[in-house]
Amino acid sequence: MRNGVYVQDSSLCHCHRLRCIKGNLYGISQDIEHFWIRGIAMMTSRERFLAALRRQHVDRPSVANPTSIVTTDLQDKLGIHFPYAHQDATQMAALALAGHMELGYDVVSPIFAGGTHEAEALGVPVRWGDRGHMPACERSIWTTDDEIKIPDDFIDHPAIAVPLEAIRLLKHEIGTEVGIIGKVYGPWSMAYHCFGLSHFLKMTIKNPGMVSDILEKLKDVAVRFGRAQVEAGADALCYGAHITGDLIRPEAYPQFLEEIDQGMEAAIGAPLIFHCCGRTLDRIGYFNTNAQTAFHFESQNDPAEMKALAEMVLIGNINNPEIIRSGSCDDVRHAVFTALDADVNIIAPECAVPLDAPMANVRAVVESVLEYSASGRERAV
């Protein structure tokens, strides 16, 4: 998007621009490559990530971010900045690619924002942010379920078409070597954007029947966008379901979402990484029934306790505000070792990394996993 208009370059032009950026990144990424040359990593990044998702043998623990790891200094290093990387497929792909080539993660995750692509395609006004601010929805647009309208050309909306094209570019350039994680917001999280968080949560008490009708209608948004991402080349999708202990009681999950979520992975056609922020130990028993592959969880939950209760593959749970944003590389190392000792399957920051976090700490997550692996410490997977 330039001057308020989405960029519509040809696919050939997109590929040429991405290859130029990719060539520059190869020069940047030599420090991470040195770890590989020492023989620590033998699988490709994609093989390692997918094997970890399947609970299969891996040569070392996978590091894979279902949410954004973009920081302001990473944007500055590449000369690619928000909001343009949300709205231009080549810039989106290139910034995502840096997560692998500059930071060393096993995957690329090109959808940096949280549900705002779908929301804008539905008619929600979105403020797309800047170098130091993530996008945000400006206001809700609906108050009752009968107002819900999903356009027939939803997938063709520029806010949807751009991330789909970015995934295609990444699949073409690195898709056999590096995992690609897409993202959708499930109907509960999308309802926050479209109805407003406070209004929607009040409805769960005052009009639970309407809440169920809203969720049934909005699930089609996640299915359509999710299927399109899989067709474009995504290996797995982060599935946002913010039914967190910070907002609502545990029993709301089986009451409203369990049945819907149980069908989502089959409907979309790829492994889903269930993401729920905040305190979730009190509801992991309910989440275990959702038939999704993995759970991306936060540091508010002790990793050993979560490992004892969760039946899904676990991804996380390195703290963002105190460790990645405000801590040292040694603090990151301690948090990563704690998660690995608890047998967390795939290591990642707990949620989208704060934009003002130091890039060195984001990279230290990978370096700590490599150090742990090289030390020969034993862990169950």
pLDDT above 50 for 211:
yes
List all residues 6 or more positions away from 165 whose beta carbon is below 8 Å from its beta carbon.
Answer: 11, 14, 89, 232
Contact assessment for residue 222 and residue 170, using Cβ atoms and an 8 Å cutoff:
no
Segment among 213-222, 240-249, 323-332, 359-368 with least mean pLDDT: 240-249
pLDDT of residue 42: 84
Longest dimension (CA), the chain: 61
- CATH code of the domain made up of 11-374: 3.20.20.210
Segment among 23-27, 163-167, 198-202 with least mean pLDDT: 23-27
pLDDT band at residue 218, thresholds of 50, 70 and 90?
very high
- Calculate the average pLDDT of the chain: 92
- Who has greater pLDDT, 42 or 285? 285
The string of pLDDT tens digits covering residues 68-83 is 999 999 999 999 999 9
pLDDT of residue 236: 98
pLDDT band at residue 144, thresholds of 50, 70 and 90?
very high
pLDDT of residue 40: 47
pLDDT band at residue 1, thresholds of 50, 70 and 90?
very low
Average pLDDT, stretch 274-282?
96
pLDDT band at residue 355, thresholds of 50, 70 and 90?
very high
pLDDT above 90 for 18:
no
Average pLDDT, stretch 44-64?
97
Average pLDDT, stretch 289-305?
98
Contact assessment for residue 160 and residue 227, using Cβ atoms and an 8 Å cutoff:
no
- Who has greater pLDDT, 47 or 20? 47
pLDDT above 70 for 10:
no
The string of pLDDT tens digits covering residues 159-193 is 999 999 999 999 999 999 999 999 999 999 999 99
Q: Is the pTM of this model over 0.85?
A: yes
How far is 177 from 212, CA to CA, in rounded Å?
Answer: 41
Distance, first Cα to last Cα, the chain: 43
